[in-house]
Amino acid sequence: AGRHVDQRRAGDADRLRDVFKGEMLTPHNLFELDRIVQAKNSFEDQITAKRTFINDEVGDKRDVFFLRINYGCAHFCSFCAVKKIFPKLKSKSMETIVQEFRTAVRQGNRDIGLTSEDITAYGLDTKTNLIELMTELLKTEGDYKISLYRIYPDFMIKHERELTEWVKAGRISYL
């Protein structure tokens, strides 16, 4: 039965290719989106956004400037599709992130959220890591805090000392 299903899927894909002669976007060529749609701006450049969060329970309202630091994940959760969408980890260069971060601070952003599917995987493909990135970012002068989104518990345990120092120094607004 399994072979029959696989053959049917292969046949469906062949029929689709015969009918549709254009480009197809799949999880395997997602980073070719720029070329496929002939974008003036890179898909990877569309990584920053400012969002307002309102927490009605405590009457808290804050603007967070999101800065994507990488694509993909280093974990293999059975329920998750991230590995199918981003099969290879792809980190932005530390220099680019630092430049974007400092620009965001100069523009008056006070809460800057580092985000990704798994920020703890940052740099595993470029021989660096999130701790080195944070150390560099925290050299930036100014009135800001950093939110760390999608941080895995194993990373928090391994780097408890650094994270605790940054929280005590008032530089981390969210873990």
Q: What is the mean pLDDT of the chain?
A: 78
At 26 the pLDDT is 61
Taking only the tens place, the pLDDT of each residue in 136-173 is 999 999 999 999 988 888 899 999 999 999 999 999 98
Burial (CB count <10 Å: 0-12, 13-18, 19+), residue 79: exposed
pTM for this model (two decimals)? 0.68
Q: What angle do CA 90, 63, 59 make, to 5 degrees?
A: 130
Using 50, 70 and 90 to split pLDDT, how confident is the model at 54? very low
Q: Convert 114-132 to b/e letters by CB count within 10 Å (16 or more is b).
A: bbbbbbbbbbbeeeebbbe
C-alpha 35/C-alpha 17 separation (Å) is 19
Q: Which residues does 111 contact at the CB level (< 8 Å), separation at least 6?
A: 62, 63, 64, 65, 144, 145, 146, 147, 173
At 19 the pLDDT is 63
Q: What is the mean pLDDT of residues 22-37?
A: 60
Inter-residue contact 68 to 116 (CB < 8 Å): yes
Taking only the tens place, the pLDDT of each residue in 101-145 is 999 999 999 999 999 999 999 999 999 999 999 999 999 999 999
C-alpha 140/C-alpha 50 separation (Å) is 20
Using 50, 70 and 90 to split pLDDT, how confident is the model at 81? confident
